[in-house]
Amino acid sequence: MYREALAMINLPVLVLNQNYEPLNICRARRAVVLIYQRKAEMLENGSGFIHSANYIFPLPSVIRIAYMIKRPRPERKLTRLEVFNRDHYTCQYCGKETRQLTLDHVIPRHRGGQHTWENVASACISCNRRKAGKTPHEAGMKLIRHPSPPHGNIPFYIPYHYLQTQSEWQNYLPTEN
């Protein structure tokens, strides 16, 4: 029983700005506190309730902050997680969806290829070994999708597995083209 309660208060909750722009992901416990303090409102109910000595709180899945939070728009950084998220944890050569991915420079760096969004793709270990230090053409391999900067207007990283498991979040996230 205690483990179930602990798991429930640690479930992820999507936090939206007053204008419904995604801001962050927090834990259900923090979201309930924000709702109780009237700093946020619940937009989507999660699965279940949190019980205290005197109250029963519905478990939120999506909340909206009651006031506008202004912040600068940072440019997405080129990191492993961002590349894997952009490529949906899929090898861009064979199409295998896996967590065992590496970064591949389409034009190898020792041949003048840059470490940019347009030259970095996710590759499974076997495809990366097969390609080695060659271009895809030389290795007889074809990219499923040519790399490009990530689309969408989400200025923070949403782990891809949340996008798959939290279906109620889809209504509040910008769609990628």
**Domain annotation for the chain: domains and CATH numbers:** 2-72 (no CATH), 80-139 (1.10.30.50)
Task: Between 70 and 65, name the one with better pLDDT.
Answer: 65
Flag whether pLDDT at 8 surpasses 70. Answer: yes
Dump pLDDT digits (tens) for 112-140. Answer: 999 999 999 999 999 999 999 999 999 99
H or E element: which one contains 59? strand 56-65
Give buried/exposed letters for 64-99 (b at 16+ CB in 10 A, else e).
bbeeeeeeeeeebebeeebbbbbbebbbbbeeeeee
Report the pLDDT value the prediction gives residue 47, as an integer from 0 to 100: 74
**How far is 112 from 19, CA to CA, in rounded Å?**
44
Among residues 69, 64, 55, 60, the alpha carbon closest in space to that of 27 is found at 60
Rounded mean pLDDT of 142-146? 95
Angle between helices 2-9 and 28-36 in degrees, nearest 10: 70
Single pTM value for the model: 0.57
3-state secondary structure (DSSP) of residue 71 = coil
**Are the beta carbons of 18 and 70 closer than 8 angstroms?**
no
More confident residue, 70 or 173: 70
Which of 4-13, 58-67, 93-102 has the lowest average pLDDT? Answer: 4-13
